[in-house]
Amino acid sequence: MIKPVGSDALQPLFVYDTDKHHALMHEAESLPSVIISSQAAGNAVMLGAGYFNPLKGYMTVNDAMGCAEQMKMTDGSFFPVPVLCLLESVDAIQGARRVALRDPNVEGNPVLAVMDINAVEEVSDVQMEVMTRRVYGTTDPEHPGVDAFNSQGRRAISGPIQVLNFSYFQTDFPDTFRTAVEIRNEIQEHGWKKIVAFQTRNPMHRAHEELCKMAMDAVKADGVVIHMLLGKLKPGDIPAPVRDAAIRKMAELYFPPNTVCITGYGFDMLYAGPREAVLHAYFRQNMGATHFIIGRDHAGVGDYYGAFDAQTIFDSEVPAGALEIEIFRADHTAYSKKLNRVVMMCDAPDHGKEDFVLLSGTKVREMLGQGMAPPPEFSRPEVAEILMNYYQSLN
């Protein structure tokens, strides 16, 4: 199986030992504590689950700046984005060397992790501007990722953490949330050697389904891991439980047995386009995938990124040898009326727009809200039914 990034074996930061876990939970109740941001909580969950292997905790400002500017920490280790714990105020933990980090996303703010603080730093406006521009490609406050990143505060606490729970992800999505450790185990149980990973924050339409099959055929993969983002999205995106139901129905009816694994991970969407694509590849290698599909405008939002910037960044900016996972580069996929099947548009140079079944997201939402199923060339009827029920429940 493919090695994790930066180590021979996965090193998740979740405390699995029952006695140690109990002792830490008991200790945490007497420690100074602070409620962290949703983004910092997502980082803790990813660290605990092994996705950010081999990081040991939150970065210093110097390490975060290095990751933003050249995807390298001060010791030369590769990481594509800053992993910070930014706070509005450190008054509640002033002078403490060991603290409890509390979850902002669960009622009662339970302890998410225990942290040894190595440094408390002030992040300057210039540093925030540099990190924002390099990671998100813009400093526009209308960009949802830029807004979320810059709304956390300017005090950075850094140091190793021990993770004690997986926030709401394990309880709200017990059938879907999986750690990198669990996915590796599942891949081994399936006996798969070549594994394609597919990232989604949306339900999968016919084109997405066929893209997974095209990638599997092209690299001769044994299976595909459909890996859903389960964290916070922007307003208007479809909630995770609805996506989950739609994707499971599609996989059940339209994929051969023992070729698809449906899972999810606990992280807030960054909408950072190319930089987020590299992060996605990084943690897909950690979960055991050998190939990762990156399509048109991967992890993008609005018009901030070029259609294929998320692919070309692997040639132009990712340090050589940093990742072993291979990128499957996909074009926009759509149903060809001429060929009566889904194709990548780049593979059909003799086609015009009128030769494809193309529907905008707005048009699809309108149809579903009115109880009208999109054409079967665009969406499987069983999937459309689940989405229609959701959209009509909003009216």
Q: What are the catalytic residues?
A: 201-202
Q: Give me the residue label for tokens 């092209």.
A: 218
Residue 13 to residue 166: CA distance in whole angstroms: 11
Residue 150 to residue 132: CA distance in whole angstroms: 8
Strands 291-294, 326-329: pairing kind: parallel
Residue 70 to residue 131: CA distance in whole angstroms: 11
Q: Give me the residue label for tokens 């309880």.
A: 171
Beta bridge mates, 198: 226
What tokens appear for 8 in the block? 């021979």
Residue 186 to residue 146: CA distance in whole angstroms: 35
- Give yes or no for a contact between 150 and 113, defined as CB atoms under 8 angstroms apart: no
Strands 291-294, 195-200: pairing kind: parallel
Q: Cis omega before residue 54 (within 30°)?
A: yes
> 72: which DSSP letter?
B
> 137: which DSSP letter?
S
User: Quick count: other Cβ atoms within 10 Å of Cβ 237?
Assistant: 13
CA distance to 41, 79, 90, 219, 286, per residue, from 83 (Å): 11, 9, 18, 32, 16
